[in-house]
Structure 1
């Protein structure tokens, strides 16, 4: 598991890499079904898609969620799929939600052995600038890292 978080100019960047023992086509088909996000998000996040995004991801798609950001605190979250190149990558960006900025790139690359290298690059910024960063930056950074560590473990279990 390779997950790291860096920070520059108030923007956090999480990079996560995972090798999946499936074909590029299978990986693309799994990760571009919006409702599969429910399957790979840890239960502790109280994450639920609240609209009906359909059965496949497309550029311009809006997906709405409710997510538990802290114990007993839920937030509405709206993302848009802003870029998509089939079997290569797609990008979701927050339009409304708990972050000042959220930009998540999902990259897929076929390896020589037929497996897929999946790379997530998430850039996010805390609300309320420096104040928000001081108050909740460490907790949020740890929560985002926890989500991707959990996702890694969940994918290890469901994709064999």
Structure 2
């Protein structure tokens, strides 16, 4: 059995809780905060209104050698302007659980991402994680940390 891995990322956003929630709780914004090299596309029909428990979101992503992978996540928990969680239903991981937390602080909003994931294929998945998956996920959150402030400036 493969291991469960964890990623924890935190950053301060110079916006209101409402602005942060409105931006990050909409799947159509994901491509704007994802490195172009991953070629993430949201393929499900756009959802009207705020994120809700039970919402299914479909994507294609190209994490390795440009090969497209299908990914479907379900929003499983929502507490308006506090947190939401998504879990993979179909896709590249044997387990994926991603929590998005938002908390007002003196200089804006503290946004925290907590991801727990497993790679399929036992020890081969663990090897893939050590060779490229963990690095790619860390780079994704590092990219987001760098790009999000400029994306959010456009909200003002």
Structure 1 position 17 matched with structure 2 position 32: no
1:72-109 per-position Cα deviation (integer Å, ceiling 9, x unaligned): 21100000000000010000000000001100000000
1:24-76 per-position Cα deviation (integer Å, ceiling 9, x unaligned): 11101111121011111111101001111314311100000000020121100
The secondary structure found in structure 2 opposite 1:35 is helix
The secondary structure found in structure 2 opposite 1:80 is strand
Task: Give unmatched runs, 5+ long, in structure 2.
Answer: none
Instruction: Trace 1:40-79 onto structure 2 (pairs within 5 A).
Output: 40-55=33-48, 56-79=50-73
Instruction: Trace 1:75-114 onto structure 2 (pairs within 5 A).
Output: 75-113=69-107
Structure 1 position 144 matched with structure 2 position 120: no
What is the distance in 2 between the residues matched to 1:41 and 1:145? 12
Over aligned residue pairs, what C-alpha RMSD do you find?
1.2
What is the distance in 1 between the residues matched to 2:98 and 2:83? 10
Residue 112 of structure 2 aligns with which residue? Answer: 119
TM-score (structure 1 length as normaliser): 0.90
**CA contact under 8 A between 2:14 and 2:149: conserved in structure 1?**
no
Of residues 49-58 and 147-156 in structure 1, the stretch that sits farther from structure 2 once superposed is: 49-58
Runs of 4+ residues over 6 Å off in structure 1: none
Residue 157 of structure 1 aligns with which residue? Answer: 150
Instruction: Report how many residues are paired.
Output: 150
1:112-154 per-position Cα deviation (integer Å, ceiling 9, x unaligned): 34x00000000011111222112x1120000111111111111
**CA contact under 8 A between 1:53 and 1:62: conserved in structure 2?**
no
TM-score (structure 2 length as normaliser): 0.92
Task: Give unmatched runs, 5+ long, in structure 1.
Answer: 1-8
